[in-house]
Amino acid sequence: MLDPNHLFDITVIGGGPVGMFAAYYAGMRKADVQIIESLPELGGQVATLYPEKEIFDVAGFKGITGAQLTANLAEQLAVFEPTTQLETSVKAILPQEDGTYILETSKGTTHTRGVLIAVGNGAFTPRKLAVDYQPEWENNYIHYFAKEMAQFKDQTVAVAGGGDSAIDWALMLEKVAKQVYIIHRRDQFRGLESSVDALMNSSIQIKTPFLIDGLTEVDHQLALSLNKMKSTDQEQLVVDKLLVNYGFISDTRILRDWGLTLNHHQVSVNQQMATNLPNVYAIGDIATYPGKVKLIASGFGEAPVAVTELLTKLYPEKRQPLHSTSIM
Ligand SMILES: Cc1cc2nc3c(=O)[nH]c(=O)nc-3n(C[C@H](O)[C@H](O)[C@H](O)COP(=O)(O)OP(=O)(O)OC[C@H]3O[C@@H](n4cnc5c(N)ncnc54)[C@H](O)[C@@H]3O)c2cc1C
């Protein structure tokens, strides 16, 4: 429950990897911090979009899955037990005369001195299949996230899509599924050369250039009607599961009303990660500046910069040690 009478030092909007680390870091710097996340769980894109995919460019890990990285971040975050509001979307940030902010959320208001915006690509939803199907087929036959590989074990699975993620998912599924198909509307895949090579040398059956133009349920399986592009040729493919990877639609429109200076759909920040609003900072995928690289590692670096700068603004009289070895 949100307590409208509690004045937090820092509210982190968005509980993706960058927001989680920022909240931890703010806790370590002894700030009274809360984290507000619109989804039912923390972890952002890493936990929701690719939990079982391995990430190779987070410092200190040769390779780590999205799920494991999220679990590690959650364990670290728990050290300072920040107030965590899940399934709560921030709708507006309202500047007050005393320099604080009231945040309007889907579950009431909350009061804070400083704000760290870490909303990533905004609220994201998968781009869905453009064919009619029964809603209950979702999560039964049709999946837009591959959360657990176990659910595809010994199944016949079709992956729809031709980008990096679709190829990666097909290659991961090949290890557990009975048979994997990949359906793409073009002959060429848009993946990394090494991934496309791995695909071509795998047991995955490639269906190109085909588009799914109909779905029916047949004996507890899903029959896909495949239309060959630029022709009238049709094929049918019967599978246990269909994993659709047509990308995601992210919605940052809400930010337009927050009084922030935006650059396309991202929040412009300076070298200290400060936005144009006093005591409002942006970090992670949502923040942009010259040379910005949208990576977890960049966001992890931006968090301490923003927290340090914000705490200096909020408490100029306090000098805090910077090294965790001196704090903990
Ligand atoms: C398939 C795929 C593979 C990737 N692979 C890599 C990789 O190998 N290495 C790498 O470094 N990066 C990778 N990335 C990018 C990486 O996931 C992002 O850079 C990272 O997730 C950004 O973290 P973030 O915390 O800024 O944002 P996000 O992870 O997007 O988290 C933002 C959170 O904010 C929440 N939110 C949004 N709006 C609101 C609101 N109004 N109120 C409350 N909460 C809100 C969202 O629900 C979300 O949980 C990959 C991305 C994808 C999609």
Which of 24, 35, 39, 46 most suits a substitution to test ligand 1, by most atoms within 8 Å of the C-beta? 46
* CA nearest ligand 1 atom 20, residue: 296
216-270 pLDDT, tens digit per residue, is 999 999 999 999 999 999 999 999 999 999 987 777 888 889 999 999 889 999 9
End-to-end CA separation in angstroms for the chain: 30
**Which pLDDT belongs to residue 21?**
98
How far is ligand 1, taken at its centre, from the CA of residue 285, in Å? 7
Using a 6 Å CB cutoff, which residues line ligand 1?
Answer: 13-19, 36-39, 44-46, 49-50, 55, 57, 89-90, 118-123, 165, 254, 284-285, 294-297, 299
Q: Which of 119, 255, 256, 293 to mutate to test the pocket of ligand 1 (most atoms within 8 A of CB)?
A: 119
Is 146 in contact with 52 (CB distance < 8 Å)? yes
Q: Which helix (H) or strand (E) holds 226?
A: strand 221-228
- pLDDT value for 254: 85
- pLDDT at residue 101 in the model: 98
**Atom 21 (ligand 1) nearest CA:** 45
Angle at 23 between CA 320 and CA 109, to 5 degrees: 115
Q: What is the pLDDT of residue 321?
A: 66
The amino acid occupying position 211 is L
Instruction: Round to whole Å and give the CA distance between 125 and 111.
Output: 29
**Domains of the chain, each with CATH number or no CATH:** 7-124+249-327 (3.50.50.60), 128-246 (3.50.50.60)
CA–centroid distance, residue 134 to ligand 1 (Å): 30
Token output for 314: 């909020």
What value does the CA radius of gyration of the chain take, rounded to a whole number of Å?
A: 22
CB 49 within 8 A of CB 145: yes
- Taking the centre of ligand 1 as the mean of its atom positions, its distance from the CA of residue 121, in whole angstroms, is 7
> What integer pLDDT is reported at residue 264 of this predicted model?
87
The reported pLDDT for the residue numbered 328 is 66
Looking at residue 39, what is its pLDDT?
Answer: 85
Distance CA 151, CA 166 (A): 17
Please tell me the distance from the alpha carbon of residue 144 to that of residue 148, in angstroms, as a whole number. Answer: 12
**pLDDT at residue 121 in the model:** 87
Name the stretches of the chain with pLDDT < 70.
Answer: 147, 319-321, 328
